[in-house]
Amino acid sequence: MQSPGRSPTISRAMIRKIGVLTVGSVALSVLITGMIMLLLGAGPDGTRLALTIAGFCPLVVTPPATFLFYRQTLELELAHQALHEAHRNLFAIHAELKAAHERLEHRASHDGMTGLANRETFHERLSEIKRGAGRGYLLMIDADRFKQINDEFGHDAGDRALLAIAGAISGSIRPTDFAARIGGEEFAIVLRDAGVEETLLIAERVRANVERMSVTTADGTPFKVTISVGCAAFAGASHTKEIMRAADRALYEAKGGGRNQVRIETSVTRAA
């Protein structure tokens, strides 16, 4: 493939085409001129001169005209190829920009460490559910003795614990549920349209999956991770702050009761 800035060359196929067109032009010119001279009744000398001119002119005009025609054709073809390549490049750039935009959107709405939604997205999603007159339960989750893990094993171990908790949460909830990391070692889950029994089932599944996890430090030292869970019911008229306070109260009860357990507040919190 030739580059767009390079002059096109004459191929063997083009030379053959020029030859065929030249011969055909000469033959047609001689034939038409002979017929005209015969019809006009010109003499033998005039006829010969006219036929000579008719044969000579195509030989002079046809090759360069044909060359120019095919040169333009090649240039147009090269321009078309360049345009096609530019279109492909633009399509690739568009795909890269779209992917970059999606990555930026994901970073803006998700926690960089765990991959769960961040606090801002959590508030937006909960507000959307309430505006749609949604009902359900909010689960507030806190890692037990997290400061002790950091102090004893280091902050890398703390990060490993958070990642393990996030993985256990993601693997325990329903596709319609929504999970977020809302603080250092604090997580939240929104269970839409869940009743008391289903909420307790999901909350206990999350707690049990965290408890049975095998978490180790960078040098392979195992350590235990558990969570406490507080649950509070909400309805469309519930105020977000009141829902979170109610779930926090249940969470503190779980902490005060010995940690690694689930407590639930079933009364629906409503806005004043």
Predicted TM-score of the model (pTM): 0.65
Pair (93, 182) in one structural domain: no
When computed from its CA atoms, the radius of gyration of the chain, rounded to whole angstroms, is: 41
36 domain residue, yes or no: yes
Active-site residue, selected from the candidate residues 96, 124, 128, 185: 185
Pair (214, 245) in one structural domain: yes
Looking at every residue in the chain, the average pLDDT score rounds to 83
Domain boundary among 47, 76, 109: 109
Pair (31, 53) in one structural domain: yes
Pair (40, 152) in one structural domain: no
User: Known catalytic residue: 185?
Assistant: yes
* Each residue's pLDDT tens digit, 227-252: 999 999 999 888 899 999 999 999 99
- Which segments of 110-154 does DSSP mark as H helices, in order? 119-131, 146-153
Structural domain of 104 = 12-109
Say what the pLDDT of residue 109 is: 81
* Each residue's pLDDT tens digit, 18-45: 677 667 766 766 666 666 665 555 556 5
| Predicted confidence (pLDDT) at residue 264 exceeds the cutoff of 80 | yes
Say what the pLDDT of residue 270 is: 45
Neighbours of 46 (CB within 10 A): 12
Q: Please state, in angstroms and rounded to a whole number, the distance separating the CA atoms of residues 108 and 104.
A: 6
5 domain residue, yes or no: no
Pair (148, 47) in one structural domain: no
By the 10 Å C-beta count (0-12 exposed, 13-18 middle, 19+ buried), 102 is classed as exposed
CB 129 within 8 A of CB 192: yes
Nearest to 163 by CA among 115, 226, 218: 115
